[in-house]
Amino acid sequence: MLPFQFLMSLAVIVFLAPGLEAAVVRPQHGRYLSGIRWILNILCSMIAYGGMLLITGSAPVASLMAFTLMAVTAVASNIKFRVLGEPLLFSDAVVARSFLLHPKFYLFSIPMTGRISLLAIAVAAPVLLWHYSATALLPHLTGAGILLLGGLLLWLCPPQKLAPTPDIEHDIARLGLPGSIIMYWRQWKFSSDLSPPCSLSGQAAYDLIMIVQCESFADPALLNLPADIILPSMPGLKRARDVAFQWGALSVSGFGAYTMRSEYGVIFGQEEAELGFRRYDPFLTAERERGHAIANRLKTLGYESTFVHPHDLRFYNREVLMPAMGFSRLITPGPHIPTPDMPYFGDIALGRTLVDMMVSADKPSLFYTVTMENHGPWPKGKDKQVPLQHYLRHVQNSDQMLLNLIEEISVGTEKALLVFFGDHRPSIPGVVTPSSIRDVPYVAVSFPLEAEAASASPTNITPAQLNHLIVELSARRAPGS
């Protein structure tokens, strides 16, 4: 390696790539430049540089690609932080599969300059690799040595000491972006499985349990919208609160995404603090904890469970996980022909499907439904309120579905439980943006409706506590037990 190339490579590994990460990655609250952050950045840069040098045998190309990789990772993390209020996490690696399945879910959040840059990199990288790759053996061996040395030194860094507990905002500042991704991944990889749950006893207390996880459902009055916005009346939510035996705010951790966190909490009944590093995507290890799933637990009481979702069940690997969780039937209503105003299967139509399924049930049944209508991306226009108005139109349909379900279930004679909740707030750039306030509404209504008025005071709970409420109510115990 020529002296100039050596100095250039050293500068990229030790100064330029680590400095770029430290300078631009958000969040910056409480941020300081720690020695361990710089060391971890150097080791990650060594791995990136060594890997590219091993492949190409060209020091300039390896330097450029290592720096570019750090830049792309930092920018991607900042975009995610701006839209969802979280930096990149180790668990986001699974998004690559989802991106290939449904790229429109993700492309809308990337600015046009970013899309052009990604396209340019995608075109330039293969050209550089092909045109400038060297055949001499020594550069390739040198790259392998740098890769192995960087990997060994990074492996020797103890994640138990560097990241003993999950605190991503603090650790981004202390460990840096690539360092926190790797240390969190190592902590996640060696985390322990949950202990088996207590078995349930008794018989089914309800003929029907309907759980509706409504995409991006929130009370518009609590979204801090511009003063000139006319808020919808939300008669369904009002009616539900009037007749519910319990209602209030559901404390969720995600904003604008991470449906599976709320879903896991309600299905498995585990608090995120109990999950440790598994909290960021608990579905990755859910199959190993299947005994905690509500469908498996209620099966011992005689309930037959059905999972309903009008979208691709490959998302979050639901097509595999849901049967393992005890759902004997997986239903995907449709087909639906997308239109600009209704890109996904509508909630009102989904409600009618649920009513038909309830009517045909001939044994105690649990229906867990995940809706889709309020899912982004939101349409854009010259007026920044175009996406907000789109969301408000659709969330009113979700509210109407809730009202319809209450009315339809109330005319029957079955003993039923309806639980309706939002999975997270919507992320609408420039209008509804990430903040520390992330709660969404939930209601729990028992049928036949009680003659007396429901409690006027709201009860704020977590998704796991909502699971505990459902499980507790679902069993009718024998006298004296």
Q: Which of 127, 160, 190 is the last residue of a domain?
A: 190
Which pLDDT score is estimated for 109? Answer: 66
Is 196 inside any structural domain? no
Domain match, 247 and 378 both: yes
User: How open is the CA angle 156-76-10, to the nearest 5 degrees?
Assistant: 50
Q: Which of 143, 163, 190 is the last residue of a domain?
A: 190
- E strands of 143-232, at which residues? 203-204, 208-214
Which pLDDT score is estimated for 244? Answer: 96
Nearest-angstrom CA–CA distance, 390 and 239: 24
Identify residue 68 by its one-letter amino acid code. Answer: T
Domain match, 207 and 167 both: no
Is 36 inside any structural domain? yes
Is 154 inside any structural domain? yes
Domain match, 172 and 217 both: no
The one-character DSSP state at 420 is E
Length of the chain measured in residues? 481
Output the six-digit token pair for 17. 């790539």
Is 195 inside any structural domain? no
Q: Which of 143, 164, 190 is the last residue of a domain?
A: 190
Is 74 inside any structural domain? yes
The HSE-up count of residue 451 (CA atoms within 13 Å, CB side) is: 0
Domain match, 226 and 168 both: no
pLDDT tops 70 at residue 2? no
| Number of domains within the chain | 2
pLDDT tens-place string over residues 30-55:
556 789 999 999 999 999 999 999 99
- Its domain, for residue 117, covers 4-190
**What CATH number did the domain enclosing 232 receive?**
3.40.720.10
Which pLDDT score is estimated for 83? Answer: 92
Is 219 inside any structural domain? yes
Which pLDDT score is estimated for 231? Answer: 95
pLDDT tens-place string over residues 183-240:
999 999 999 999 999 989 999 999 999 999 999 999 999 999 999 999 999 999 999 9
Domain match, 381 and 282 both: yes
Domain match, 157 and 219 both: no
How many CB atoms within 10 Å of residue 434?
17
Distances (CA, A) of 30 to 27, 73, 308, 328: 9, 21, 43, 49
Which pLDDT score is estimated for 414? Answer: 87
Q: Considering only 124-138, 280-294, 330-344, which range has the smallest mean pLDDT?
A: 124-138
Domain match, 279 and 321 both: yes
Residues near 395 by beta carbon (within 8 Å), at least 6 away in sequence: 216, 217, 218, 220, 232, 374
Output the six-digit token pair for 247. 């209602």
pLDDT tops 70 at residue 75? yes
pLDDT tens-place string over residues 300-346:
999 999 999 999 999 899 999 999 999 999 999 988 999 989 999 99
Domain match, 208 and 184 both: no
Distances (CA, A) of 142 to 49, 59, 473: 11, 10, 65
pLDDT tops 60 at residue 452? no
Domain match, 249 and 126 both: no
Residues near 14 by beta carbon (within 8 Å), at least 6 away in sequence: 42, 45
Domain match, 337 and 464 both: yes
Domain match, 39 and 159 both: yes
Is 481 inside any structural domain? no
Q: Taking Cα atoms as reference points, which of 208, 214, 443, 197 lies closest to residue 305?
A: 208
Domain match, 111 and 228 both: no
Is 198 inside any structural domain? no
Which comes out higher in pLDDT, residue 125 or 331? Answer: 331
